[in-house]
Amino acid sequence: MMAVYRRVFGIGLQDTFVYRWNFVLRSLFSVIPLIGTFFVWRSVCEQGAGLSEYNLSAIVFYFVAVMVVDNLASPTEDEWRIAAEIREGQISALLTKPINHLAYRLSLFGAYRFLYSLVTLPVVGGILWILREHLQLPQSALTWPLFALSVLGSALLQFFIAYSLAMLAFWILEVSTLIFILYSFEYFLSGHVFPLDLLSPRLQAALQWTPFPYELFFPVQILLERLDPAALQRGFCMQFFWVCMMGCTARFLWIQGVRKYQAVGG
């Protein structure tokens, strides 16, 4: 069975390059927001805004790490594609095949993230070189495997959330509004716009019980070595909890959605 999903992974690589120039340009220019972010936060730090937790170098390193995790783990249009397959009836062809749809889409997701990361690697390397005076590599060798594990958890969590959103297309004709609303919250509450530890302690405590910090902020904090052992353990436990929770939710919605889809088709 694993051979089937390895084949799907290969198909995903080929499918990605059907529109190769669109893919390449989108991959390369995705780093442009980092440039704007750098100038904005440099201005904030130079004006002495009182960021006790971060100086300019720490802020730059933070957003470079966000860019790296985002490239490695964040889905790109997966939920739109899955929802379109359901809405347009293309899902019928997959229902007749002896494959697990969740594993099938996860294989395609992995293929796309692999190529996306590969294409952006030279650009990311150039940015790291340009900003090298602001970057400080982790001092502990253990940080790298912990960071890799947290990025894997982030990728699974984000994929399961995207998949669950797409499953709503079994009940709702147009899910774009729901996707936009959730991702609007996610963009701010995952640490994409600013470090979450700049928020008040009460808000930080509340956010720890949501899945959003474990998508970006938690892996980045590991790379920056800003977590003590207790916070590290708690973070991995919460990330694992949300991966399992959203994975079960994705599976449940698929099962219920297929039942409804078959009933309508009948």
Spell out the domain ranges in the chain.
2-265
What count of other Cβ atoms lies within 10 Å of the Cβ of residue 113? 21
Does 72 or 265 have the greater pLDDT score? 72
Cβ neighbors of 169 (< 8 A, separation 6 or more) are 82, 83, 84, 86, 87, 175, 257
What are the pLDDT digits (tens) for 104-142?
A: 888 888 877 777 777 767 777 777 777 777 777 788 889
Tokens 């309508």 locate to 264
Does 54 or 83 have the greater pLDDT score? 83
**What is the pTM (predicted TM-score) of this model?**
0.82
pLDDT band at 37 (very low <50, low <70, confident <90, very high): low
The answer to whether the beta carbons of residues 120 and 27 sit under 8 Å apart is yes
What count of other Cβ atoms lies within 10 Å of the Cβ of residue 58? 17
- Please count the helices (runs of H) and the strands (runs of E) in the chain: 12, 0
| Whole-number pLDDT of residue 262 | 60
Whether 42 shows a pLDDT value over 70: the answer reads: no
Does 93 or 40 have the greater pLDDT score? 93
For 252, the token pair is: 């449940």
Amino acid at 94: L
Whether 36 shows a pLDDT value over 80: the answer reads: no
